[in-house]
């Protein structure tokens, strides 16, 4: 006994009130499971709503232009053996005796001068009734133009990028036989059995059990269950969606190469080849970048199209540091805390040491005092002088105080590590910094001299800036950024007075350090820089 079944809009993700741009069935039509009933289009994607069962359309309850959401009633289907036994509607027969017929753009509503974004056939291809010939896209919708007759393509009259309207010639077809659409006979046996594909041409060859014959579309090994939400949001035409469903391909994992990242049949075929060769573990078949984050690569760009260019090899230091910084950025949840320190008194004290420093043949910079102040803060807050274990389950606390300082060189930044900063006087530390910085600029540092740091300092004081976000140099858990100091009017409670303020930027690993700890660390550091005598306490 046949039953009437309501067909509702299924789960379509986070979309609601989506426009119906096309109704693909009419009362009396016979549909198979997974046949498209309507096409929806949001501001982000177009999607087909498939039939959940086989049967005969008894009533269509929506029209183009309506808005639907999950649960909206689409059609009523008569399911059961009776539905399958009815004859499918027969398209108008082709003129007898073969011959050639020109195919033109049919009635496409109020659209005109619509862009051709994809041509699905080539001269010599065999097409069946309702096979997609081209895909059009306006500013509101995308649509496929089907073949009204069956035959062989003799001539293509349009190309991708052309604009067409109703009546524009598309192709010339040499008619084959009656040119009618074959009825889906296989659906009559059982409404629960998977239907035979209606399309003719190369696609059915894909469904042939192994060993498969040669085909334009490569066969596909077993594929995991399609993510319907990702499939629905994919930017692809109904024909490509149908093609992907026939092959069991999840369009949510395919990267489109067409206009506006639209997925084409060639993209689906390329994805299938990558699955067969075991290269499609990452989304869209792209190899996962270093660190396994699964982030799709930035596409290559031919810059010569825009003007003259010159290519130079990236310096070796930048190649090495770039990979390290990329790992740090992907693996560490970083947060930056910004503050200012009053170094007016510190700068006055530093200037008072110039005569003594000249006798010793050294130059005392503000950075040497900052290094000393940082060590004092590390002692007061031991979590900043620690590293996270490789399994992320424990902290490794260090009993030494080695500070890395970023040095600008012609080939890029390097970070030599100054050991036991807590045990070295200011003059000795200043002399070591001058000597190490020179060897860094000459490219004579050894790998050992750039390892073992507890915390790093990146100073832009000689260049400028008011703030920036330095990246944590793993396995350290924090890095201090320093910008150029500037005179600023500061309110002392009764009046504004000029004070020399130093911008500080502390970036930290949020897995180890929380915001309150970072704020306390910087607050302590600013107090020490304001009065270095605090290090004696």
Cis check: omega of the bond before 228, within 30 degrees of 0: no
Q: Cα–chain-centroid distance for residue 300?
A: 15
What integer is the mean pLDDT of 110-121?
A: 81
Length of the chain equals: 537
Query: Which domains, from first to last, does the chain contain?
Result: 1-89 (2.40.50.100), 100-175 (2.40.50.100), 216-311 (4.10.320.10), 317-536 (3.30.559.10)
pLDDT for the residue 277: 57
Given a cut of 70, is residue 284 above it in pLDDT? no
Phi, psi (degrees; rounded to nearest 5) at 2: -75, 145
pLDDT tens per residue, range 463-479: 889 999 999 999 999 99
Q: At what angle do helices 366-380 and 515-530 cross, to 10 degrees?
A: 130
> In which band, very low, low, confident or very high, does the pLDDT at 283 lie, cut at 50, 70 and 90?
very low
What span, in angstroms and rounded, lies between the C-alpha atoms of 59 and 37?
A: 12
Structural tokens at position 67: 């808005």
Q: In the sheet that 30-31 helps form, which strands lie side by side, from edge to edge?
A: 3-8, 73-79, 55-60, 30-31
The two tokens of residue 289 are 């970048």
Strand-pair category, 478-482 with 455-459: parallel
**Furthest-apart CA atoms within the chain: distance in Å:** 109
Q: Can you tell me the mean pLDDT for 347-352?
A: 95
Give the whole-angstrom CA distance, residue 101 versus residue 172. 6
pLDDT at 486 (0 to 100): 94
Q: What is the three-class DSSP state of 59? A: strand
Q: Which of 198-202, 261-265, 299-303, 478-482 is the most confident on average? A: 478-482
CA distances from 224 to 32, 196, 234, 242, 287 (A): 23, 21, 17, 17, 19
- The question of whether 120 is a catalytic residue gets the answer no
Range in 21-25, 49-53, 214-218, 372-376 with the lowest mean pLDDT: 214-218
Q: Give CA–CA dist 196/191, Å, rounded.
A: 12
Pairwise pLDDT comparison (453 vs 54), residue with the higher score? 453
From 325, 383, 340, select the one nearest 482 (Cα to Cα): 340
Tokens of 53: 């069962």
What integer pLDDT is reported at residue 324 of this predicted model? 84
E-state strands within 13-128 = 18-23, 30-31, 36-41, 46-50, 55-60, 67-68, 73-79, 100-104, 114-119, 126-127
CA–CA distances in Å: residue 33 to residues 187, 205, 245? 9, 20, 12
CA distance 525 to 506: 11
Contact indicator for 431, 362 with CB cutoff of 8 Å: yes
Q: What's the CA gap between 534 and 375, in Å, rounded?
A: 12
Residue 175: pLDDT above 90? no
**Average pLDDT of the segment spanning 297-302:** 83
Q: What is the DSSP string of 17-45?
A: SEEEEEE---TT-EE-TT-EEEEEE-SS-
Task: Report the relative pairing of strands 403-405 and 455-459 from DSSP bridges.
Answer: parallel
- Cα–Cα nearest to 506, from 526, 487, 489: 526
Residue pair 507/469 in contact (Cβ under 8 Å)? The answer is yes
| Spatial contact of 22 and 49, defined as CB atoms under 8 Å apart | no
What is the pLDDT confidence band of residue 226, given thresholds at 50, 70 and 90?
low
Question: Which among 152, 272, 288, 122 has a CA at the least distance from the CA of 206?
Answer: 272
Which pair of tokens denotes residue 342?
């009053």
Listed residue (178, 180, 200) closest to 89, CA to CA: 180
Closest CA to 267 of 285, 248, 253, 254: 254
Integer Cα distance of 437 and 402 in angstroms: 16
CA dist 94 and 101 (Å) reads 9
**Pairing assessment for the beta strands 496-509 and 334-342 based on DSSP bridges:** antiparallel
Average pLDDT on 261-270 reads 82
- HSE-CB at 45 with a 13 A cutoff on CA atoms is 22
What is the percent of the chain where pLDDT is above 90?
A: 36
Is 6's pLDDT higher than 90? no
Grouping H, G, I as helix, E, B as strand and the rest as coil, residue 354 is helix
Give the active site residue among 120, 235, 326, 510: 510
| Three-state DSSP string of 493-533 | CCCEEEEEEEEEEEEEECCCCCHHHHHHHHHHHHHHHHCHH
Q: What is the pLDDT of residue 398?
A: 97
Q: How far apart are CA 388 and CA 404, in angstroms?
A: 18
**Tokens coding 60:** 């269509």
For residue 104, the cross-strand partners are 169
Please report how many Cα atoms fall inside a 13 Å half-sphere around the Cα of residue 280, on the Cβ side.
Answer: 24
């Amino acid at each position: 006994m046949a039953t009437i079944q309501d067909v509702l809009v299924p789960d379509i993700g986070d979309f609601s009130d989506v426009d119906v741009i096309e109704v693909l069935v009419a009362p009396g039509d016979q549909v198979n499971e997974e046949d498209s009933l309507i096409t929806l289009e949001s501001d982000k994607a177009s999607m087909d709503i498939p039939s959940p069962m086989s049967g005969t359309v008894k009533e269509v309850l929506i029209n183009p232009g309506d808005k639907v959401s999950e649960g909206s009633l689409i059609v009523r289907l008569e399911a059961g053996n009776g539905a399958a036994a009815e004859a499918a509607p027969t398209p108008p027969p082709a003129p007898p005796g073969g011959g050639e017929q020109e195919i033109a753009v049919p009635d496409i509503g109020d659209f005109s001068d619509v862009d051709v974004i994809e041509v699905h056939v080539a001269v010599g291809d065999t097409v069946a009734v309702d096979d997609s010939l081209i895909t059009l896209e306006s500013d509101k919708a995308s649509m496929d133009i089907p073949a009204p007759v069956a035959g062989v393509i003799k001539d293509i009259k349009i190309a991708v990028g052309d604009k067409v309207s109703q009546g524009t010639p598309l192709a010339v077809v040499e008619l084959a036989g009656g040119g009618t659409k074959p009825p889906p006979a296989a659906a009559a046996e059982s409404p629960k059995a998977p239907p035979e594909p209606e399309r003719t041409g190369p696609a059915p060859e894909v469904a042939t059990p192994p060993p498969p014959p040669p085909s334009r579309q490569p066969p596909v090994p077993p594929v995991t269950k399609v993510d319907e939400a990702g499939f629905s949001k994919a930017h692809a035409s109904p024909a490509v969606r149908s093609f992907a469903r026939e092959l069991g391909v999840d369009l949510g994992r395919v990267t489109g190469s067409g206009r506006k990242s639209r997925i084409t049949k060639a993209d689906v075929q390329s994805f299938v080849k990558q699955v067969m060769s075991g290269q499609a573990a990452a989304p869209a078949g792209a190899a996962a970048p270093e660190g396994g984050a699964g982030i799709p690569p930035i596409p290559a760009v031919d810059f010569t199209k825009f003007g003259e260019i010159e290519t130079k090899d990236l310096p070796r230091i930048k190649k090495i540091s770039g990979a390290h910084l990329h790992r740090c950025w992907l693996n560490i949840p970083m947060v930056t805390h910004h503050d200012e320190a009053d170094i007016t008194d510190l700068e006055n004290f530093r200037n008072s040491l110039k005569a003594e420093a000249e006798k010793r043949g050294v130059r005392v910079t503000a950075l040497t005092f900052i290094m000393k102040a940082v060590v004092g803060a590390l002692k007061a807050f031991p979590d900043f002088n620690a590293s996270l274990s490789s399994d992320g389950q424990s902290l490794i606390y260090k009993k030494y105080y080695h500070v890395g300082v970023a040095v600008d060189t012609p080939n890029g930044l390097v970070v030599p590590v100054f050991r036991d900063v807590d045990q070295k006087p200011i003059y000795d530390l200043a002399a070591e910094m001058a000597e190490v910085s020179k060897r860094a600029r000459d490219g004579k540092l050894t790998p050992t001299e750039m390892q073992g740091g507890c915390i790093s300092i990146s100073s832009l004081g000689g260049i400028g800036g008011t703030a920036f976000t330095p990246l944590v140099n793993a396995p350290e858990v924090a890095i201090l950024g320093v910008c150029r100091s500037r005179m600023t009017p500061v309110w002392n409670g009764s009046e504004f007075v000029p004070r020399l303020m130093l911008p500080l930027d502390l970036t930290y690993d949020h897995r180890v350090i929380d915001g309150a700890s970072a704020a306390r660390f910087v607050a302590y550091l600013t107090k020490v820089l304001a009065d270095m005598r605090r290090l004696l306490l």
